[in-house]
Structures are given as C-alpha cells and as structure tokens.
C-alpha cells in the first residue's frame, strides 16, 4: 500500500509518500480500505517534535493520523463477520496509522457511517464532531441568546455555528479574511465579521450593542479571546477549547463544578491557535460580571468518547450538522500540514487516497 511516513521530526516537508507493506489485522481487529483520513493540528505538532499532553512523541518512522473512514476489507481472528464490507469510521486512539491506503483498527471502536454522509464528512465527525459534542454538553442556547463563534470557518467553528442556528439563536461568526467570512454567512450566521480587521469587535457593537454576547465559543485564544471577552454580557458563558483552554483554565471567571471541564491543550478549531496571552480582565472583573468559564476536560472526553461520537454522527446523518471539509490528496499530506499551520484551510482537513 501507499502511506505517508515521517522519518525525522521537523517541517511538513519531512512527510514522505512511500510504498510500505500492508498492515495485518490482529485478533478482534479489522483492516479498512481508507477513503478519507482526518488531519488534526495535533498531527502537525507531533510531526514537529513537540509532545502534546498525554500523547508522547511516536517512534520513528511513523505513519501519522488517527482518524479514518472507509470500507472494512479484512477481519482479524475472532472479529464478528458482520463487519466485513461495512462502511465505517473510527478514531484510532493513541495508535497512529491513518495517513495510508489501509489502516487497522479495533472492531469495538468502529462506528457505522450514516448513509447520508460521505467518508470525508464521517471522518470529520468522528474526531472534530465528537469534540464539538463535548463542548456543547450541558449548554443552554436559546432563541433569545446571541452566540459568538471564533474561527467560525474552521472545522469546529462551522459545526458550532450551525448548531447555534439550529437552536434558534442569533449567531455571530468571526473568521479571517473575505473568503472565510463569506463561508460563515453561507453557514447561516446572522453577522459575519473579519477578525483580521482591527474594528471587528466594533462592528458587532454597532449591530447589537455594547456587550451582546451570551455564549462565546473560543478555540483560538490569545488576542482574539481578549477582544471577544469585552463583548460578553453579564452572566454569559465562555466555552474554551483548543488554544484558549490552556489560556483560561485557572485565570479567573466563574468556574464550572470540579471534574466537569478542564483543558485539552490542543486546538480542534481547524485553525492554528493564537499566541497565548493573559486575559484582558482581572479575576475580580470577570467574577463581577458573572462570566462562567468552561474549559474542555480531556478526562471527560475520554470517558464519554463513544457516546459523543455517536451523537455527532447522528446529528450529521439527520442534516442538523454538515461538516465543512477541505480535501488534499494523500500524497500531498505535507501541503495539508502547511495549509493548516498557516490558516490556509476552511473546515476540517481531510486526506483522500
């Protein structure tokens, strides 16, 4: 089979397209003919040689990637026969191997692909969609609320924008550049603002008032987060994930109950996080405004992994959520990494063999 391999940590150019032996499924496993492989910013971080949270740097050479979708074409010993020929998607967990024409996975981790979804859409929901479900767990978005989504044209942002509109809320989507703001409008946002412009927050104030936002979905963190905090109404909620999760954990605001949320430490937004900067407001100021900070807890995501995957795929299958995908040929994985790292993508980045 053909696969993308990494022989030395470093830049995206270190990803090479090679011919390698076909993997063999072990007991309880399946082999998948891959039709779509998800690309995550974490893949680029590990490729560069930077360990991330609980994931150690892989032994080299390695085939990156932990999200695949395709057809089950071979079974390992003891694997139920009904999986053969099924269209499935799966998150491979800590074991990489997704950037390839064939991938091996545990049968217990497989999720059937709804008939209404393509393989690329399914692979977007198995990882990015699952994270969105984790962010949304326990939210109370109502028709009378205003929602602000940062990186609204990214993989997570696009899904969050659609979900908030489905709930009947007024949605503001912020993205970088005219093309991405046009995409945000197509997603249904009531107002799309270009956060590469210095007056983006003022545009929101002119349209809806000084502090109109009840729910802030913040993946980038950094300077964008600092500016957006100034738009939050009294008693609002700041959902921090990706780059902003580490920025806001423990920096103030009304924290959720212990054990509900923590930090993932890695962006799923589809765009690289902003440089982490201190919050523009003190702990006292946030508390006085009643702002609840809800970072995303890795332990929560692991404990509820399968049910969140199922929720994400069901909502996509019903058409409530439609993931945006930005595809690259498998052989151009390096270009996909470069585009992701430089904010040159829209939606979830997917490799197609």
- Contact of 271 with 250, CB cutoff 8 Å: no
Pick the residue with more confidence: 23 or 289?
23
- pLDDT at position 85: 98
- pLDDT at position 260: 32
Number of Cβ atoms within 10 Å of the Cβ of 77:
9
Least confident of 17-21, 166-170, 241-245: 241-245
The pLDDT of residue 350 is above 80: yes
The pLDDT of residue 258 is above 90: no
Percentage with pLDDT > 70 across the chain: 86
Q: Where are the alpha helices (DSSP H) in 72-147?
A: 119-124, 130-136
From the list 335, 327, 334, the residue with the least C-alpha distance to 7 is 334
- pLDDT at position 82: 97
HSE of 91, CA atoms in CB hemisphere, 13 A? 20
Phi, psi of 342 (to 5 degrees): -105, 15
- pLDDT at position 243: 59
Number of Cβ atoms within 10 Å of the Cβ of 275:
11
pTM: 0.87
On average, the pLDDT of the chain sits at: 88
Tens-place pLDDT, residues 177-186: 999 999 999 9
Tens-place pLDDT, residues 219-253: 988 899 999 999 999 999 999 987 544 444 433 34
Which stretches of 117-258 are assigned E, i.e. beta strand? Answer: 146-150, 170-175, 191-194, 213-218, 232-240, 254-255
Least confident of 146-150, 210-214, 280-284: 280-284
State whether residue 58 is helix, strand or coil.
coil
The pLDDT of residue 104 is above 90: yes
- pLDDT at position 168: 97
Least confident of 72-86, 119-133, 230-244: 230-244
């Amino acid at each position: 089979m053909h696969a993308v391999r990494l022989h030395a940590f470093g830049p995206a150019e270190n990803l090479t397209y090679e011919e390698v032996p076909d993997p063999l499924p072990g007991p309880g496993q399946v082999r998948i003919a891959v039709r779509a492989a998800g690309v995550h910013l974490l893949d680029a971080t590990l490729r560069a040689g930077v360990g991330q949270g609980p994931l150690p740097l892989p032994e080299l050479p390695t085939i990156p990637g932990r999200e695949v979708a395709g057809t089950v074409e071979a079974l390992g010993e003891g694997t139920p026969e009904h999986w053969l020929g099924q269209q499935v998607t799966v998150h491979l967990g800590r074991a990489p191997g997704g950037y390839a024409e064939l991938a091996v996975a545990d049968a217990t981790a497989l999720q059937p692909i709804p008939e209404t979804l393509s393989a690329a859409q399914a692979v977007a929901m198995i990882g990015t969609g699952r994270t969105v479900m984790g962010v949304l767990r326990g939210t109370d978005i109502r028709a009378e609320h205003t929602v602000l989504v940062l990186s609204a044209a990214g993989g997570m942002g696009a899904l969050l924008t659609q979900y908030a509109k489905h709930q009947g809320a007024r949605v503001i989507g912020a993205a970088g550049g005219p093309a991405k703001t046009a995409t945000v409008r197509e997603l249904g946002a009531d107002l799309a603002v270009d956060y590469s412009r210095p007056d983006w927050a003022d545009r929101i104030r002119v349209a809806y008032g000084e502090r109109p936002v009840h729910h802030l979905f913040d993946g980038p963190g950094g300077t964008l987060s600092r500016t957006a905090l100034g738009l939050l109404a009294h008693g609002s909620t700041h959902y921090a994930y990706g780059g902003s999760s580490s920025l806001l954990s423990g920096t103030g605001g009304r924290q959720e109950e212990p054990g509900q949320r923590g930090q993932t430490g890695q962006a799923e937004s589809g765009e690289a996080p902003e440089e982490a900067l201190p919050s523009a407001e003190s702990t006292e100021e946030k508390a006085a405004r009643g702002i609840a900070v809800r970072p995303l807890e890795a332990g929560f995501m692991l404990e509820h992994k399968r049910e969140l995957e199922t929720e994400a795929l069901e909502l996509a299958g019903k058409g409530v959520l439609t993931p945006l995908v930005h595809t690259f040929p498998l052989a151009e994985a390096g270009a996909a990494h470069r585009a992701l790292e430089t904010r040159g993508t829209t939606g979830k980045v997917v490799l197609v063999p």
